[in-house]
A = this chain, B = another copy of it.
């Protein structure tokens, strides 16, 4: 079993961090509760006049370095490894953020350790990365190749319109993937 795990929205709390920064820097402007989120790109749910400010936050140096870990992610990775699975992290860099790719490698080393650094694959197109399963919060994943992996959705409020795919969180992944 070769399993690929996405980072943003799966291991690293991209949106929690973004919204916390937004609320700190721009209080009393626009707000959006987590459970109201319906689109994969959070910017789409922001009024147009605020979008540039929101992009600035996610394009900033240290943004990706400072993402908090999503609880249960690290433990799930270690449990998968203990099952004898080959576990890789598979993340797309954000175009527009000039330091994010390096910060993702630093994040992995800091939160998961040196060995996991060697398991990170950064790919704008994940269809050419080989795996049996890809756990990802993006509702639809396309690219140049026919993927070898089954896309299992990491459940988030903003991806619930995606149907026909298995869905899990770190609270129930064993039930979903192992039938336990």
Chain A residues with a Cβ under 8 A of chain B: 2, 86, 88, 93, 95, 98-106, 117-125, 128-131, 144-145, 148
- What are the 8 tightest A-B residue pairs by CB atom distance, in nearest-first order? A122-B122, A101-B101, A102-B102, A101-B102, A118-B124, A121-B123, A130-B130, A86-B144
With a cutoff of 8 Å between Cβ atoms, the chain B residues found around residue A100 in the complex are 102
CA–CA, A123 to B105, complex, Å? 11
The winner among A2, A98, A104, A128 for most chain B CB atoms within 10 A is A128
With a cutoff of 8 Å between Cβ atoms, the chain B residues found around residue A88 in the complex are 125, 128, 144
How many chain copies does the complex carry?
A: 2
Q: Are the CB atoms of A125 and B119 closer together than 8 Å?
A: yes
Q: Are the CB atoms of B130 and A128 closer together than 8 Å?
A: yes
CA–CA, A145 to B124, complex, Å? 21
CA–CA, A119 to B129, complex, Å? 12
Q: Are the CB atoms of B121 and A122 closer together than 8 Å?
A: yes
With a cutoff of 8 Å between Cβ atoms, the chain B residues found around residue A2 in the complex are 128, 144-145
With a cutoff of 8 Å between Cβ atoms, the chain B residues found around residue A128 in the complex are 2, 86, 88, 121, 129-131
With a cutoff of 8 Å between Cβ atoms, the chain B residues found around residue A119 in the complex are 124-125
With a cutoff of 8 Å between Cβ atoms, the chain B residues found around residue A148 in the complex are 130
Q: Are the CB atoms of B145 and A130 closer together than 8 Å?
A: yes
* Whole-angstrom distance between the Cβ of A171 and the nearest chain B Cβ: 27
Q: Name 18 interchain pairs, CB-CB below 8 A, sorted by A.
A: A2-B128, A86-B128, A86-B144, A88-B125, A98-B106, A99-B99, A99-B102, A100-B102, A101-B102, A101-B105, A119-B124, A119-B125, A121-B124, A121-B125, A121-B129, A122-B123, A128-B131, A130-B130
